[in-house]
Homo-oligomer: A and B are copies of this chain.
Amino acid sequence: MGGMTPKIARFIAEQKPATPCLVVDVDQVEARYRALNSALPQARIYYAVKANPAMPILNRLVGLGSSFDAASWEEVSLCLEAGAEPDAISFGNTVKKVSAICAAYDAGVRMFVFDCREELEKLAQHAPGARVYCRLLVDNDGAEWPLSRKFGTTLDSARDLMLLARDLGLDPYGLSFHVGSQQLSADAYEVAISRVAALFTDLSAAGLDLRMVNLGGGFPVRYRDDVPGIDHFATAISHAMTEHFGNALPEMLVEPGRFIVGDSGVVRSEVVLVSRRGREDGPRWVYLDIGRFGGLAETEGESIRYAIRTDRDGTPTGPVAIAGPTCDGADIMYEKTAYELPLGLESGDQIDLLSTGAYVSTYCSTRFNGFKPLTEYYI
Q: Are B362 and A363 in touch, CB under 8 angstroms?
A: no
CB contact between A273 and one of B50, B119, B156, B331 (< 8 Å): that residue = B119
User: Is A297's beta carbon under 8 Å from chain B?
Assistant: yes
Contact across chains for B150 and A93 when beta carbons are under 8 A apart:
no
- A274 in the interface, Cβ–Cβ < 8 Å? yes
Whether A147 pairs with B329 at a CB distance below 8 angstroms is yes
A293 is an interface residue with CB less than 8 A from chain B: yes
Inter-chain contact B362/A367, CB cutoff 8 Å: yes
Q: Which of B49, B70, B277 contacts A115 (CB 8 A)?
A: B277
Selected A-B contacts with CB under 8 Å, 11 pairs: A49-B370, A53-B370, A71-B370, A95-B273, A97-B289, A98-B347, A118-B274, A140-B329, A149-B329, A300-B300, A361-B366
The answer, yes or no, to whether A122 is at the interface (CB within 8 Å) is: yes
Cβ A71 vs Cβ B326 within 8 A: yes
A233 beta carbon closer than 8 Å to chain B? no
Closest chain B residue to A92 by CB distance? B327
Surface stretch bound by B, among A5-13, A73-81, A201-209? A73-81
Cβ of A285 under 8 Å from chain B: yes
User: A residues 322-347 with Cβ under 8 Å of B?
Assistant: 323, 325-332, 335, 346-347
Q: A146-B329, A277-B153, A278-B157 are in contact. Are A362 and B368 (CB under 8 A)?
A: yes
**Cβ–Cβ contact B53 & A278, under 8 A:** no
Query: Residues of B contacting A73 with CB < 8 Å?
Result: 370
Complex partner residue of A370 from B70, B145, B149, B370, CB under 8 angstroms: B70
Interface residue? A373 (CB, 8 A): yes
Q: Is the CB of B366 within 8 A of A278?
A: no
A72 cross-chain contacts in B, Cβ below 8 A: 325, 369-371
Write out the residue numbers on chain B whose beta carbons fall within 8 Å of the beta carbon of A152: 277
User: Which chain B positions have C-beta within 8 A of A300?
Assistant: 300, 330
Q: Could you tell me if A285 and B150 are in contact, using CB atoms closer than 8 angstroms?
A: yes
**A232 contacts the other chain (CB 8 A):** no
Chain B's closest residue to A181 (CB) is: B329
Task: Given A50-B327, A115-B275, check contact A362 B369 (CB 8 Å).
Answer: yes
The residue on B at minimum CB distance from A75 is: B370
A364 in complex: contacting residue of B119, B332, B366, CB < 8 Å: B366
Q: Is A372 an interface residue when CB atoms closer than 8 A count as contact?
A: yes
Q: Are A287 and B325 in contact (CB under 8 A)?
A: no
